[in-house]
Amino acid sequence: MSTRRDHARRLVDAIEPAQRAAIAKHPITGIESLGYTVVAEPALTSGRGAGGLCDGLSFAKHNTVMYSPTPGSRKENFTLLHEVGHILVERDDDALNWLADRDDPDSEVERLCEEVAANLVIPESLLDDVVGTGPITGEDLKALVARSAASGPACAIALSNRLSSGAVVIIDRATGRVVHSALRGDNLTVYPWSNTNVPRNHPLLALQSGDTATRKTFWTDEWERRQEYYVSAIATEKRLYAVFSTSDLWGVEVFHGGPLPPAKSEAPRLGLRCHCGYVGRAFGWPCATCKRQYCPRCGECDCPRRDRAQGICTKCFLQAPDLENGVCGECR
């Protein structure tokens, strides 16, 4: 049975090697070499996207991609290539048939286009050079971000292709919030996910800039369920780069059992009216920050909506309420 990774690689492999190399070196020029028209539109806003990563639109009929430019940022490279992914998928019957069989095809097509974008901007040769014989580590993720033309999320997605079960995660140290998480494997019950907070008292929060850690740890969710992981992580001044694995890739211990089964939750079931349009029952503990129940349709509490109302810092690319000339207080 084909996987999302299989389809992404097949779509990318159909592009001539010289064009793939051009895209990885300079995405806009490389995309134009495919015969596409690239249009920068500063006023562009799009409701479509994977967790807010992509401020772009694509028009397969006209071979055109549009994007909201972020000068000096590698984010726009990922945005452009994500939109190229939409055109490639829209023209591919095998991918469309596979998507039609997914439980949530709308979300799945965004993840597939993320995979296409990551494969285009980060060639396998670069991954081989950074990772070597493996296993992958948090330091590999940090190195990939530094050496490639790709954004942090694109690097996490690309590196996750070398992981069998777990997540490649980028965390904002200032807020203790997951910036991006690329998941792999079907046996993940509780996992780090984008725009969620690191669990309180988690050992990763104790790391200081320059610290590394390879250890057994855990993740808990808003329903207080828990899953055991092994982690390799490194901290910088602003970020935590971490690889979570359900198996002991790094030899943390000689013997270990499998992940703990999730505990039975006593979380309440309450009525909810969400900004996404959902009206009905919601099960689980409310968000500790905004005190609002998580929506079963979009998965959000009220925090992401508030976050989206904030601006994006042009230096660290995080949302912040205190922008001055486009730069947040931490970066000034």
CB contact at 8 A, 95 and 11: yes
Residue 131, CA atoms < 13 Å, CB-side half-sphere? 22
> What pLDDT does 147 receive?
84
> What pLDDT does 71 receive?
67
| CA neighbor of 118 nearest in space, from 86, 159, 87, 89 | 159
240 and 201 fall within a common domain: yes
Residue 58 belongs to a domain with what CATH number?
1.10.10.2910
138 and 71 fall within a common domain: no
Look at strands 226-235 and 311-312 and give their pairing: unpaired
Cα 104 → chain centroid = 17
Residue 308 and residue 134: Cα distance in Å, rounded? 37
CB contact at 8 A, 111 and 140: no
Stated pTM of the model:
0.62
Q: Which amino acid is at 232?
A: S
192 and 283 fall within a common domain: no
Residue 160, CA atoms < 13 Å, CB-side half-sphere? 27
C-alpha distances (whole Å) from 103 to each of 53, 80, 98, 107, 109 are 22, 27, 11, 9, 11
Q: Which amino acid is at 257?
A: G
110 and 29 fall within a common domain: yes
Q: Which helix (H) or strand (E) holds 319?
A: strand 319-320
217 and 157 fall within a common domain: yes
132 and 239 fall within a common domain: yes
141 and 220 fall within a common domain: yes
Please spell the DSSP secondary structure of 158-214, one letter per residue.
HHHTT-SSEEEEEEETTTTEEEEEEEE-S--SS---TT-BPPTT-GGGGPPTT-EEE
Q: Does 294 reside within a domain?
A: yes
> What pLDDT does 329 receive?
65
107 and 174 fall within a common domain: no
Residue 73 and residue 217: Cα distance in Å, rounded? 33
23 and 106 fall within a common domain: yes
Q: Does 262 reside within a domain?
A: no
Q: Which domain holds residue 234?
A: 126-245
Residue 258: CB atoms within 10 A of its CB come to 9
C-alpha distances (whole Å) from 179 to each of 10, 18, 52, 154, 197 are 28, 33, 11, 12, 9
Number of domains into which the chain is organized: 3
Instruction: From first to last of the 332 residues of the chain, give the pLDDT tens digit.
Output: 788 888 988 999 999 988 888 887 788 888 888 888 888 777 665 544 444 444 767 777 778 888 777 766 677 777 888 888 888 998 899 999 999 998 888 888 988 888 888 888 887 888 888 888 779 999 999 999 888 777 888 899 889 988 989 999 999 999 999 999 999 887 789 999 889 999 988 999 999 999 999 999 999 998 889 999 999 999 999 999 999 999 999 998 754 445 544 444 455 667 778 877 777 777 677 777 777 777 777 777 787 777 666 677 777 766 666 667 777 766 76
Q: Does 97 reside within a domain?
A: yes
Residue 198 belongs to a domain with what CATH number?
3.30.450.130
| CA neighbor of 282 nearest in space, from 302, 296, 266, 263 | 296
Final residue before a domain boundary, out of 90, 121, 152: 121
